[in-house]
Amino acid sequence: MRRTESLRALVRETTLDPGDLIYPLFICPGEGVRKPISSMPGIFNLSVDEAVKEAEEAASLGLGGLLLFGLPEAKDDEGTGAWDKDGIVQQGLRALKASSAAKKLVLIADVCLCEYTSHGHCGLIHKGPHGWEVDNDPSVALIAKAAASLAEAGADIVAPSDMMDGRVAAIREALDQSGQTQTPILSYASKFSSAFYGPFREAADSAPQFGDRRGYQMDGANAREAMREIELDLAEGADMILMKPAMPYLDIIRMARDRFEVPIGAYQVSGEYSMLHAAFEKGWLERDRAMLESLLGIKRAGADFIVTYFAKDAAKLLG
């Protein structure tokens, strides 16, 4: 059954389609801006007009959607740009919704404060007995406010990535109170504290100015805890879950797939992308095969859809 490509295709158990892929975009102020991200070859910070062009190409390739991140003009301790009616992602959402081509895409808005806070953490901070700590409950109120703002601006899905306790319930309440009752919540339910996020910190200008995020992101050693986190988010009203990173946590994706009946996505994060690109540039790996194999492995592990910086390139190969 492996002798020819047609036989292999006939009995193939797992398939990969452009519609399974979500492409991240980093939206920044200005016009005509297309700033290369040095640690992520082929990825850019884009002004709103350039983001629309990128979205139109993504739609033409049959991608499933976009995941939007923002780089605000200014930051402060509370991250007020996250819920500003004229915030950078809110501007991007309105522009994308006005584009006929981009309307074919599902627009997912990442919900977090790290891109907007001057200190780079995902919530408000205070000085605790062990040094600076994230203040969970006040942070949740602001994260919920940001989610409602993004939904009002046109997000089809809001995706909280902060890992604060109780954020899903607060977001669901904020969405309902603002009239966004039909907006689904895609929860980063098990987001691990990972070394593979490094290049993203450059892309989103979101590196913590002190400390790290191990106090609120998950310990990579804990699989059972990941299942508890997912259960809690689903109980609070999450409609879908997103696993992050993908490659080092394929076992977590499989555990979640076997246990939960909701749609599951996986995020092939910046470090995974940049690591493969480095091998391509050295000639150590065959680019097209390795790229598609990495995505197929994530899909086989149980992901229904994949957030990946390879989305456009993979879609061109998948046709």
List active site positions.
191, 244
- Written as six digits, the tokens of 30 are 């200005």
Q: What residues have CB less than 8 Å from 89, skipping those under 6 apart? A: 27, 68, 69, 70, 109, 110, 150, 153
* Distance of alpha carbon 75 from alpha carbon 81, whole angstroms: 7
* Distance of alpha carbon 244 from alpha carbon 86, whole angstroms: 29
* Distance of alpha carbon 316 from alpha carbon 208, whole angstroms: 36
- Written as six digits, the tokens of 58 are 């993504």
* Distance of alpha carbon 140 from alpha carbon 129, whole angstroms: 21
Report which secondary-structure segment, H or E, holds 279.
helix 270-282
3-class secondary structure, 100: coil
What's the one-letter identity of residue 9?
A
* Distance of alpha carbon 162 from alpha carbon 145, whole angstroms: 13
Beta bridge partners of 307: 22, 267
What's the one-letter identity of residue 169?
A
Beta bridge partners of 35: 45
* Distance of alpha carbon 100 from alpha carbon 175, whole angstroms: 26
